[in-house]
Structure 1
Amino acid sequence: MESSLPPADEPPHFMVFPLEVRQQIYAELLCSFGEPKKDPETAEEDANMRRIDQVGSLAQTAILRTNRQIYEEAKEVMLKQNRFVRIFTYDIKALTLPGPIIVYTTDPDNDPIVEQFRWAVMSYTIMDNGDGGTQLQQSTTNFIILAKDLGAFLRALVGPENNYPTLPTGTEHKIVLHDPFRLSVDPSYDTLEVQKRLLQPFRDHFRGFTDVKIEGNVDNELAQTVLAEVSNEDMPDPQMFIRDVVYLMDEGYVYLGNNIFFKASQAWIRVDLKLKRLKAGKLWQRVKEEFGVVFRDRLADLCCTLLGHMAQQNVAEMQIASNMEEADAEMLSQKYSEVRRLGSLALSAGTLYEGHWQPSAAQRGHIMFRAAKAARFAGDIVTAAIFIHGALMDQPNDASFMQEATEIKSRE
């Protein structure tokens, strides 16, 4: 973040401008970090990709190397007006980090730039609590973002973009507020209001989080209020919950029927997260007791249907790929394995949701039918024959099953 001081050469003509004008120029150059214009046709796909704007690589930071006086003036504007937030993640896989990432390192032992940065208004640490529920990637990732982007970061962290069902109950969070410029000693500076703004994104996006600490330069009453809010979680309305799940699945199925796989996947992920987060959340025991086994069996049935839709999409993608002149054997093999994995999970949905649900003959048949098609596309004809035989045992008169059996037989 802080480059070596520039040589003390002669002041450029720029210095004839009043300090207020120079500060406005510094702010324009160093407090936006070149937000790119978005193409509306690709914005949705781009939103799911990490974008890293390392501040040192941006052209506008060249002004910091003009001379010593400009360096000091510009650095003060950049540090004070940007309001940087340091984020440390331990054993947490962050797939989507919206907004510009000012500094980023996955090797903090050899590159301690984030840890050594002294001008952040907040440090936020996220750590897996060791229960094995979260998705692991590397041991540590450190980065710096702007305070104005913290809300977007937290929204993505808890949302379907990152798909962490156990995030509220399987991770530890520590928020530390700093006053690096000692602004709180200024009587005209509304310290409490600034603290409220910094903590507001957590109040907006966190619910049911069981292990959160707030420390540092923060009003104790405010900290306790925020902790109570992020820990609180309202019981779902069972009918509305089911309705929302069905709506999202129907939406995804329409996209799947039109081969709009990206949007179908987005719908599946949203449903999957909604179901899993309920099961992994702090309210699950109350849900079990108050809503009963009928509700849990309905969840299991919806889970089976969802996994079936996801498997069907994989099969559809395999069919398209297998018709290409040069089929991607590795991709077909991966999707074949995924179809089998999804089928196995679908059959065990009753156990997952701790109810009495068992798949119907039609559900078992379709699970094996999809596995048979996937096996055929992957070139595993022997296993395909076994799967389609099982499917026909459950649904002997299904025309599509019989057609698939004929197709497999012709390849034996």
Structure 2
Amino acid sequence: MAPATARPFPFLSFPREIRDKVYRELLCNFDPPPTKVLPSTMFTFEQAKHSIDTAVLRTSTQIHREAYDVMVKTNRFVLIESAGGLPIRSIMGGLRVPVITADRDCAQRFKGYVLAVSLSTKKPAWRDDEAIPTGPCGLMILGRDVRLFCEAFTDGDNHMPGFSANLSLTITVGPAVAHPVPRYKNTLTDFFGETTQKTLLHPFRSRLRGHKGICVTGCVSPDLAKAVQTEIAQDECADHQKVFDDFAAAKERGLAHFRAKDLTAALLAWQDTALDIERIHRGSSWAGLATRGGPDFLARMAELYFLLELNIAHVHLIGMERGIPNYPTFDFQAEQALEMARSSIKKSFWADDWKWQPSAVQKAKLCYRTALFLRLEGRMEHAGAAMAWVEQALRLVPGDAAILREKEKIAAWVELGG
């Protein structure tokens, strides 16, 4: 009896909607972005996790044409390119933006992008090094992660002073259309209609503000391109009173957590608020806010930020002394908060030739917490500095019970060490 001959699977006999479901399962199966950011991963790209099998693209001309079409239109791949001088790795690593490939040659060889974002800076502030690379790069992300990419770039001024003022950004819609179309691929021209254009550009116009050097080009209507450029160029904040009120309310929310003994929630609320203040302070909106608000606005913002940093240091000091459940406390975070508080009261920190002067009680808190930090850190070579800080605090508020107790503890520490 002759052996039965295996018949090819009749895949093309299935309805197109069934075939498209198969293509999506094989070519569009990416895991969601991560929800946690670890300090150890802050300067590395987050590799997009997936279960993609591209073998279907090598099956036949028709199947390749159909599958490639579904893959590109569903995943909506985006090319991110930097000419250099920008800390792209640290900016995107801060929010764990998933990257499909960070291989520049590989990313540039692919031709099925729905968007291309080209970044450059007029004044590179950092040199390229192993710790924070700023050299040229090219990488691929998914269209779904453009919002996260934009959110990461709102923190650019925290990574690099003058980032937003010096950034040049070109957004090209439909770069795939500019390439010749092989016979085994469909043209994507019809895909970039008005609805798709608006969808692709929505994350930029809703998330980015204060960037003046923006150009929107490619398969996009002139009116839409102009609208997006205008919206992105607008200052993020214009109402100085609202800016202050929002930050003051955020500080109070942290205080409510602290009073409820939820130290982790309080710390996160205060840290987020302080970072947002730093971002706006370093961004393009600040000059206008300072002009409109004048010295009164500057004084209120300076005091708010100073107290936020003291609060952040306070929680970390509690953590150093007795621990915070479920939250890793690091000595350097307390030290950093105290350093930021000290920096914020220096001349020209908030505006040229302008200085905010804290009250005696506020300055005493800074001195006291600095002394406490040095004692808890436990480095005997800093014992003399700890005593100097606590004595300065007592000169500012003589007879304060907490400060007197801390002086006694430092004296006992010095005696024990001696």
TM-score interval for Structure 1 and Structure 2 normalised by the shorter chain: 0.7 to 0.9
Aligned residue pairs: how many?
Answer: 380
Deviation at 1:194, TM superposition (A): 2.2
* TM-score relative to the length of structure 2: 0.77
Does residue 1:158 correspond to 2:141, yes or no?
no
Distance 1:211 1:71 in 2: 39
Distance 1:34 1:123 in 2: 22
Deviation at 1:317, TM superposition (A): 2.5
Of 103, 116, 123, the match for 1:123: 116
Deviation at 1:85, TM superposition (A): 0.7
* TM-score relative to the length of structure 1: 0.78
| Residue of structure 2 in register with 1:61 after alignment | 53
| Residue of structure 2 in register with 1:32 after alignment | 29
Deviation at 1:66, TM superposition (A): 7.3
| Residue of structure 2 in register with 1:178 after alignment | 174
Deviation string, structure 1 residues 17-56 (Cα, Å, up to 9, x no partner): 42612232112332232448x9xxxx5679x9875225xx
Distance 1:335 1:288 in 2: 29
Distance 1:403 1:63 in 2: 72
For the 8 Å contact 2:157–2:163, the answer to whether it is kept is: no
Distance 2:360 2:241 in 1: 27
Deviation at 1:370, TM superposition (A): 0.7
Query: Which secondary structure does the structure 1 equivalent of 2:81 belong to?
Result: strand
Distance 1:128 1:161 in 2: 12
| Residue of structure 2 in register with 1:211 after alignment | 213
Query: Which secondary structure does the structure 2 equivalent of 1:410 belong to?
Result: helix
Query: Which secondary structure does the structure 1 equivalent of 2:19 belong to?
Result: helix
Of 288, 297, 300, the match for 2:299: 297
- Return the letter of the residue paired with 1:64: V
| Residue of structure 2 in register with 1:344 after alignment | 342
RMSD between aligned residues: 3.7
Call closer, same or farther: CA 1:336–1:77 in 2, change over 3 Å. closer
| Residue of structure 2 in register with 1:191 after alignment | 193
Question: Is 62-71 or 174-183 further displaced after alignment?
Answer: 62-71
Where do 1:92-131 residues align within 5 Å? Answer: 92=87, 93=90, 94-97=92-95, 100-101=98-99, 103-105=100-102, 108=104, 112-130=105-123
Deviation at 1:144, TM superposition (A): 1.7
Question: Is 397-406 or 239-248 further displaced after alignment?
Answer: 239-248
Query: Which secondary structure does the structure 2 equivalent of 1:347 belong to?
Result: coil
For the 8 Å contact 1:151–1:201, the answer to whether it is kept is: yes
| Residue of structure 1 in register with 2:372 after alignment | 373
Deviation at 1:126, TM superposition (A): 3.0
Where do 1:247-326 residues align within 5 Å? Answer: 247-256=249-258, 260=262, 262-320=264-322
Query: Which secondary structure does the structure 2 equivalent of 1:176 belong to?
Result: strand
Distance 1:269 1:349 in 2: 24
Call closer, same or farther: CA 1:319–1:122 in 2, change over 3 Å. same
Structure 2 runs not aligned, ≥5 long: 1-5, 182-186
| Residue of structure 1 in register with 2:79 after alignment | 86
For the 8 Å contact 2:346–2:356, the answer to whether it is kept is: no
For the 8 Å contact 1:176–1:216, the answer to whether it is kept is: yes
Q: Percent identity?
A: 23
Deviation at 1:166, TM superposition (A): 4.9
Does residue 1:142 correspond to 2:138, yes or no?
yes
